[in-house]
Amino acid sequence: MDCRELFAILSDYLEEELDPGISDELKKHLEECRYSCPNFVKTFKMTIELYRSSPPEEVPREVRLRLRHLLWQEGREEEL
Amino acid sequence: MPAKKESDEVLVRKSKEGDQTAFAELVNRYESKIYSLAHKMTGNREDAADVLQEAFLDAYKSLSHFKEEAKFSTWLYRIATNVCLMKLRKRKGEAVISLDEPLLTEEGERPREIPDWSTNPGAVVLNEELKQVMDEAIKALPPAYKSVFVLRNLEGLSNAETGKVLGESLATVKSRLHRARIFLRERLSHYFDDNHPPSEKE
């Protein structure tokens, strides 16, 4: 496997959706690669974990209220 | 006694019959997810609030056309992603690169070195910095790449689900993801080139 091939299947690797054989080839490339693959994969993986581990953002109160108000209005219009 | 949690399917059916409290429950269930998605896609909170509002209003109005072949969440993500994409396309000065532009040569272009941040002892501070750099890089992604990257990598949808949300084939999803990663890698290396004096690069 070369850098280009690794790159093409990186998301599947991170989601653990690769066939075991291909996954092993990818790991082997990561051990041997003299270019930026190892650091990129680590950094990429860590960033994604950071995003995923942060809870969904809280919707500001005024935004929540406005949304409910608009939906309520929309519902009333339908009834009329 | 707390009420038993009803499935999305049941709530959708009730909403279609005109039960507004059922739809309100769906809003409670998904609003922060949609808001987060919209924030990542648009890069700011005002636009995220607009997207949230438009997406749920659209969903409410077009619920009768929702055939329930897909999951409600997929359908809702699709509406929200489309609203985001429309917003991004309307913006002036948005970075646009051709979807067909070859970014890697056949031999495989050799990217510049990217420092490994994940093993640094000052990880907490760096996590913040890393997230900021990544936020900026994601912001700069062209819309077509951004939507696949956010849905697949940040929201954790599968390739197939991402395809359903975007109405694109699996092959298109994969190729755009690939290009998004190339774009991000380039951005990250630019950041280091600009911010780290040569002496720190050893």
Distance from CA of B56 to the nearest CA of A (A): 8
Q: What is the DSSP letter of B60?
A: H
Selecting from A14, A48, A71 the residue whose C-beta is nearest the C-beta of B27 gives: A71
Best mutation target among B17, B34, B54, B153 (most A Cβ atoms within 10 Å) is B153
Say which residue, B175 or B187, is predicted with more confidence: B175
Give residue B196's pLDDT: 42
Distance from CA of B4 to the nearest CA of A (A): 23
pLDDT one-digit tens code per residue, A33-62: 887 788 778 878 887 887 887 777 899 999
Best mutation target among A4, A9, A59 (most B Cβ atoms within 10 Å) is A59
B175: nearest CA in chain A?
A8
Distance from CA of B75 to the nearest CA of A (A): 18
Angle made by CA atoms B125, B127, B130, in degrees to the nearest 5:
110
Phi, psi of B78 (to 5 degrees): -65, -45
pLDDT one-digit tens code per residue, B70-102: 899 999 999 999 999 888 888 755 554 444 344
Distance (Å, whole) CA A38 – CA A70: 49
CB B38 within 8 A of CB B87: no
